[in-house]
Amino acid sequence: MIGNSIAKIHSALGFSVKKLNYLGDWGTQFGKLIYAYQKYGDEKKLKEHPIQHLQELYVKINASMTEEIEQESRDIFKKLENGDKDLIKIWKQFKELSLVEFDHVYDLLGVTFDDVQAESDFNKKAEEVFSELEKKKLVVESQGAYIVDLEKYNLGVSIVKKMDGTTIYASRDLAAAISRQEKYKFEKLIYEVGAEQELHFKQFFKILELMGYTWSKNLEHASHGLYLGTDGKKLSTRQGKSYKMIDIWDSISEKIEKMVEQNSKLDKKEIDKRTMIITRAAIVYGDLKNYRRRDLIFDSEKIVLMEGETGPYMLYTYARANSILNKIKFKKKEKIVEEEPTKEEVKLVKTLSQYPDVLMKAYKDSDPSQIANYAFAVAKQFNSFYENCTVVGDTKEEYRAQVIYAYKTVLGNALDLLGIQVLDEM
């Protein structure tokens, strides 16, 4: 959601943007997962609920981890990297079934991609990068691994290859960055990845610089915080303590549907449509209103409220503005009627005029929360205007309608940048 919004912000400012989904489909953890599947797996469960079953297996294998299992898992991954046909078949099944579920969630959230890449795509290229690192004398052998020593930059050491010959995600990330530059000739490459990977990104950006790639200065890590449990503690996939977005969606959608069904005039198709749009707004706004680096406790009760700093409230104020304009049969005019403005009108227009500056700052900081917070501020200002200024039938109806139209346009634009679809009526 954060990456999708950052992409939309850049597009709004004229950039040609490519959105890439980068799948972490390679690494020792897949050795563990295949070991667990061979020992405890159920093919029927895998096909019916792939993400859930794989997560159950991952929790189970980590709970029973021993040095022997750890070694067997490493051996399995080594065989996988060497192209073992049976293991590749299992791995592909994991990936393909998981992607179906991922795509369903992306579709619900309104997130699209121009390209889907995976760590496994850069396996061969990672070997070439390792050879390049050796030629440039950037690699040293240390404590059972090949590393790039970045101590003098206060960045520690970065492991780029294990002694058993298997690649590691650092070398695959290096390979992926080089390939993307060759393919896209980008002005900027933004990685929207968790803050816990901050050191990794600093290391691999520095390694690219040391390799002589001057474009490495155009790489950015737009980090995000963690989703925390209601107890404020970090969620762990290994321990089985994590949220699945589809479960969050279903829970919130159920609440929203009951609210929408209170309008007895709607047919089933319209109820489903509105439920989907409001649910998406609740989840997306509930996430993006927070500064991306801040950890987030997701409160499913609060984000569905029709008042306060919520997605449904944003949609409601947009629909209210649209309803007023429809009531007076408003038509946009090139020349705005000039009237002596009231205090509330001035406040709203001033807030609306801040939008270009907010957009530019959100772009510079790669921070959608600035758009989200602005949307709430302007919505509050509109409600104050609405409560204090009569529109329909007033002598200033035409002038105030122009102000409302400007509000509706700005709010709709801001919500679109967050990835939120609007409703003309609620």
As a whole number of angstroms, the distance between CA 173 and CA 130 comes to 12
Taking the CA atoms of residue 90, residue 94, residue 95 and residue 97 in that order, the dihedral angle to the nearest 10 degrees is: 120
Comparing 120-134, 217-231, 316-330, 358-372, the range with the smallest average pLDDT is 217-231
Q: What would the two tokens of residue 141 be? A: 């052998």
Closest to 210 in 3D by CA, of 163, 168, 153:
153
Cα 353 off chain centre by: 28
What does the pLDDT average to over 125-140? 95
Q: What is the pLDDT of residue 185?
A: 95
Q: What is the pLDDT of residue 242?
A: 56
Is the confidence at residue 338, as pLDDT, over 90? no
Let me know the angle formed at the C-alpha of 303 by 300 and 307, rounded to the nearest 5 degrees. Answer: 145
Is the confidence at residue 241, as pLDDT, over 60? no
CA-CA-CA-CA torsion sign (381, 384, 390, 395): negative
Using pLDDT thresholds of 50, 70 and 90, give the confidence band for residue 280.
Answer: very high
What does the pLDDT average to over 173-196? 96
CATH number for region 245-418: 1.10.730.10
What does the pLDDT average to over 168-191? 95
Q: What would the two tokens of residue 84 be? A: 């073992």
What does the pLDDT average to over 143-155? 94
Ranges of each domain in the chain: 245-418
Q: What would the two tokens of residue 85 be? A: 């046909």
Q: What is the pLDDT of residue 336?
A: 67
Percent of the chain with pLDDT over 90: 66
Q: What is the pLDDT of residue 238?
A: 46
As a whole number of angstroms, the distance between CA 28 and CA 145 comes to 15
Structure pTM? 0.89
As a whole number of angstroms, the distance between CA 295 and CA 290 comes to 9
Tell me: the pLDDT tens digits for 383-414? 999 988 888 877 787 888 899 999 999 999 99
Q: What is the pLDDT of residue 243?
A: 65
- The answer to whether the beta carbons of residues 145 and 159 sit under 8 Å apart is yes
Q: What would the two tokens of residue 328 be? A: 């007076």
Is the confidence at residue 155, as pLDDT, over 80? yes
Is the confidence at residue 235, as pLDDT, over 60? no
Is the confidence at residue 81, as pLDDT, over 90? no
Is the confidence at residue 320, as pLDDT, over 60? yes
